[in-house]
Amino acid sequence: MSAVVLNEKLEKAGEMALPESFNGINPHNLYLYVKSVQAAARANTASTKTRAEVSGGGKKPWSQKGGGRARAGSKRSPVFVGGGQVFGPKPNRNYNQKVNKKQKKLALRYALAEHAANGTLFIVDSIEVASGKTKDAYAMFNALGQRDALFVKSLLDEKTYLAFRNISSTYLIEESELNAFDVASYRSVVIEKAVWEKLTSEAK
């Protein structure tokens, strides 16, 4: 597997082989990481009222004896319509799922390796739009010939950020924000050479 190296005009200029550590990674690492990201993103707003929280029920519905019915002390009981909910959802539930650092790294490597296998992993010297104009950023994206793309820059600058921010089919992030979920979410990935060299050096 190898990544496609692009020149300044985003034309293919060669290929760069992936380190051996990117091969043979279990895809389950990516599954666990994606699952943890989606779990953490849950709104966690589902909530029901217990019998202590519903209104009403101050009066005993009927006499304790003589009516031929079961005893009842409050209309707030779960057996009545409008009563409290038993074991209902509460917004204090923790949906977080732990994924250790090693699994996160393996998940990222696997996601990048999949792009390399599909020919959708691109390495460029620099991702920069000095003009700050969206049309220039869009021209850069169009040169790739991809449906959407994740651009990874070592350090964001204001001009480049402004140029990319209104293009719905692209997403520009810094090196520190790079993660397996974003890599797997886009059909192509464009990474600055400095970022890629740091990633591969850590993988050796």
The residue-averaged pLDDT of 5-10 equals: 88
The pLDDT value given to residue 18:
92
Would you give the DSSP letter of residue 122?
A: E
Sheet (strand 2-6) strand order: 12-17, 2-6, 121-124, 189-192, 149-153, 170-174
Would you give the DSSP letter of residue 18?
A: P
The pLDDT value given to residue 11:
86
Q: What percent of the chain has pLDDT over 70?
A: 99
The pLDDT value given to residue 195:
95
Query: What dihedral do alpha carbons 140, 5, 113, 184 form, nearest 10°?
Result: -10
Chain segment 118-173, per-residue pLDDT in tens: 999 999 999 999 999 999 999 999 999 999 999 999 999 999 999 999 999 999 99
The residue-averaged pLDDT of 42-47 equals: 92
Q: How confident is the model at residue 67 (pLDDT cuts 50, 70, 90)?
A: very high
The pLDDT value given to residue 45:
93
The pLDDT value given to residue 58:
85
Say yes or no to pLDDT of 204 above 70. no
Domains of the chain and any CATH numbers? 2-42+96-203 (3.40.1370.10), 43-94 (no CATH)
> d(Cα 70, Cα 80) in Å, to the nearest integer?
12
The pLDDT value given to residue 203:
65
Query: What dihedral do alpha carbons 94, 100, 104, 105 form, nearest 10°?
Result: 170
Given the structure tokens 């104009």, which residue do they identify? 133
Mean pLDDT of the chain: 94
22's tokens: 């990117």
Give, to the nearest 10 degrees, the angle between helix 101-117 and helix 193-203.
120
